[in-house]
Amino acid sequence: MDGAGMRKVSSHCSISDMDDYDLSKLLDKPKLNIERQRSFDERSLSELSVGLNRGSVENFEHIYSPGARSGFDTPVSSTRNSFEPHPMVAEAWEALRRSLVYFRGQPVGTIAAYDHSSEEVLNYDQVFVRDFVPSALAFLMNGEPDIVKNFLLKTLQLQAWEKRIDRFKLGEGAMPASFKVLHDPVRKTDTIVADFGESAIGRVAPVDSGFWWIILLRAYTKSTGDMSLAESPECQKGMRLIMSLCLSEGFDTFPTLLCADGCSMIDRRMGVYGYPIEIQALFFMSLRSALALLKNEGEGKEFIERITKRLHALSFHMRSYFWLDFRQLNDIYRYKTEEYSHTAVNKFNVIPDSIPEWVFDFMPTRGGYFIGNVSPARMDFRWFALGNCVAILCSLATPEQSMAIMDLIEERWEELVGEMPLKISYPAIESHEWRIVTGCDPKNTRWSYHNGGSWPVLLWLLTAACIKTGRPQIARKAIDLAESRLLKDGWPEYYDGKLGRYTGKQARKFQTWSIAGYLVAKMMLEDPSHLGMISLEEDRLLKPLLKRSSSWTC
């Protein structure tokens, strides 16, 4: 998302012409609710009147304990007291605090990169919604929720702006990819400029921003016990607007969300258009988070019903058609084509010859993953780390699938982790395919950036997935790798090469989410109860009715 010249940004508004919230009012100490309370985040589908004939499931919230612990039933690590803080931790906190961005004296976010050595700042001096997530989690885990609250409210205000690209008006619910605070020292005003895609390379709107916003709202609520923010009319409306964007009816035959290339973390052309796993997993997680946070009254009621139906369809579709393991690969390899009617096994008419060679060797006997994309006659077999880790965290993956994903990471450690956690995608595309798929993008050459580059920020997602699946030793190994280089190399944005040995060709230094991602990973491993703010347990009513592959259960 570089190259977005601020001059071209059209949506802006200064505090004087903006109907601003009084941040000081919103900075009231969070209401702490220390009573044992009914779970709000695990609202079971059975409680909802959508005609599902199941008994009610009691889900009790774990006791909220002040001090930023969030409820999760993983026992606090027995090694906790023996945990020596790594010298990098203090350095990371210092760097994270340096990246804070203030609006009218209040911290509202963190800039993407604090890189003075680089001549080209591009848009790395902005607060990106997706980049702020690990920063927010670090602050929540450290018992500093105010900045997260400020950020949620500020971005909510930006959502209300009218958004245009040329003469086309964007959907009301769209959240910005990023925003920037401009300080005018003479007039003593702060102005915000935001980018909803109208300045971004390729002019693509960030589909992930709204999802991350809802996920973060739940994390804030879960961590602080302060329900008042999520329950406020403004936040309820913000969630409904995001939901109506992604639940709107069209010509779709699939419950997955159709996307343009470059609409998420991979924000350049990389052949992920269609139904990318990153967006589907975030979509699922935000649907479940919204279900937990929306009030079951008035307009919220209708949304709860629509979300519930979509979750059922989406989990079935993803678990059935995106899942790939040895057995499933063998089935696809033997697929008949040109089948017609309801009895078709090969529903999307995938031609076995289109299966790339590498996947046959890559697929271990034990293990599996959600592939990159599924659409008519097209399966993108590439591995994408973010989508698979998020699928584990929000229980889009069944417990068996989650275990299989972790098995794959262990079995294919050299390919997926190598010397620097974690590859964003695997394998890289090269030569003719690179030309066609990326449009000859010099930033996305093989094993660089989005094309098989290694991104330290993904460490927090891997760690969370490891803790959730009871495999913390994998996270520890990954953190050890990061600790051997990250600080020394100046917290790069990404690494290049098949093993991730080289600092990325055009990687920023002091990339905030590399710093925050490391801190979140460390804090979660030290105190696994933090996982609760970013994890959702399996909902019994979303259990698969259909078992496609026996390797799920063995």
Residue type, 388: N
What is 352-383 written as a DSSP string?
A: GGGS-THHHHH--SS-EEE-SEEETTEEE--E
Residue 1 or 467 with smaller CB distance to ligand GLC: 1
Residue 126 or 373 with smaller CB distance to ligand GLC: 126
Q: Which of 497, 503, 446 is nearest to 438 (CA)?
A: 446
Taking CB under 6 A as the criterion, the residue among 61, 115, 131, 261 binding ligand GLC is 131
Taking CB under 6 A as the criterion, the residue among 4, 108, 111, 112 binding ligand GLC is 112
- In whole angstroms, how close is the CB of 515 to ligand GLC at the nearest point? 12
Residue 11 or 135 with smaller CB distance to ligand GLC: 135
- In whole angstroms, how close is the CB of 383 to ligand GLC at the nearest point? 18
Q: How many residues bind ligand GLC (CB under 6 A)?
A: 8
- In whole angstroms, how close is the CB of 195 to ligand GLC at the nearest point? 11
Contact call for residues 416 and 462 (beta carbons, < 8 A): no
Stretch that binds ligand GLC, among 8-16, 124-132, 331-339, 378-386 (CB under 6 A): 124-132
Cite the beta strand spans of 126-275 per DSSP E: 127-128, 164-165, 168-169, 178-184, 189-195
Site for ligand GLC in 2-61 (CB under 6 A): 2
* Those residues with Cβ within 8 angstroms of residue 272's Cβ, 6 or more apart along the chain or in another chain: 259, 261, 262, 264, 266, 278, 372, 373, 380, 384
Residue 281 or 404 with smaller CB distance to ligand GLC: 281
- In whole angstroms, how close is the CB of 112 to ligand GLC at the nearest point? 4
Taking CB under 6 A as the criterion, the residue among 64, 72, 128, 211 binding ligand GLC is 128
The answer, yes or no, to whether the previous bond of 427 is cis (omega within 30 of 0) is yes
Binding map of ligand GLC across residues 267-296, x = CB under 6 A, - = no contact:
x-----------------------------
- In whole angstroms, how close is the CB of 265 to ligand GLC at the nearest point? 4
Tokens of 9: 């940004």
DSSP secondary-structure letter at 457? T
Residue 10 or 506 with smaller CB distance to ligand GLC: 506
Stretch that binds ligand GLC, among 127-135, 361-369, 376-384, 520-528 (CB under 6 A): 127-135
Q: Residue 318 and residue 361: Cα distance in Å, rounded?
A: 24
| Runs of H (alpha helix) within 101-198 | 129-141, 146-159
* Those residues with Cβ within 8 angstroms of residue 433's Cβ, 6 or more apart along the chain or in another chain: none
The answer, yes or no, to whether the previous bond of 422 is cis (omega within 30 of 0) is yes
- In whole angstroms, how close is the CB of 115 to ligand GLC at the nearest point? 11
Residue environment code for 470-494, b if the CB has 16+ CB neighbours within 10 A, otherwise e: ebbebbeebbebbbebbbebbbbbb
Residue 383 or 513 with smaller CB distance to ligand GLC: 513
- In whole angstroms, how close is the CB of 128 to ligand GLC at the nearest point? 4
Q: State yes or no: residue 1 binds ligand GLC (CB under 6 A).
A: yes
* Those residues with Cβ within 8 angstroms of residue 527's Cβ, 6 or more apart along the chain or in another chain: 69, 76, 77, 80, 141
* Those residues with Cβ within 8 angstroms of residue 371's Cβ, 6 or more apart along the chain or in another chain: 277, 322, 323, 324, 379, 380, 381, 382, 383
Stretch that binds ligand GLC, among 26-34, 43-51, 128-136, 412-420 (CB under 6 A): 128-136
Site for ligand GLC in 215-274 (CB under 6 A): 265, 267
Q: State yes or no: residue 527 binds ligand GLC (CB under 6 A).
A: no
- In whole angstroms, how close is the CB of 174 to ligand GLC at the nearest point? 16
Residue type, 224: T
Residue 112 or 409 with smaller CB distance to ligand GLC: 112
- In whole angstroms, how close is the CB of 473 to ligand GLC at the nearest point? 29
Q: State yes or no: residue 130 binds ligand GLC (CB under 6 A).
A: yes
Q: Residue 529 and residue 169: Cα distance in Å, rounded?
A: 43
Stretch that binds ligand GLC, among 20-28, 74-82, 126-134, 331-339 (CB under 6 A): 126-134
Q: Quote the distance between the C-alpha of residue 439 and its chain's center.
A: 26
- Nearest residue to ligand GLC, scored by beta-carbon proximity: 1
Q: Which of 464, 471, 435, 454 is nearest to 536 (CA)?
A: 464
Binding map of ligand GLC across residues 456-495, x = CB under 6 A, - = no contact:
----------------------------------------
Residue 226 or 278 with smaller CB distance to ligand GLC: 278
- In whole angstroms, how close is the CB of 206 to ligand GLC at the nearest point? 8
Q: Residue 94 and residue 440: Cα distance in Å, rounded?
A: 39
DSSP secondary-structure letter at 539? P
Q: Which of 180, 195, 204, 179 is nearest to 264 (CA)?
A: 204
Residue 245 or 265 with smaller CB distance to ligand GLC: 265
- In whole angstroms, how close is the CB of 1 to ligand GLC at the nearest point? 3
Contact call for residues 34 and 65 (beta carbons, < 8 A): yes
Residue 130 or 498 with smaller CB distance to ligand GLC: 130
Residue 64 or 494 with smaller CB distance to ligand GLC: 494
Q: Which residues make up the interface to ligand GLC (CB under 6 A)? A: 1-2, 112, 128, 130-131, 265, 267
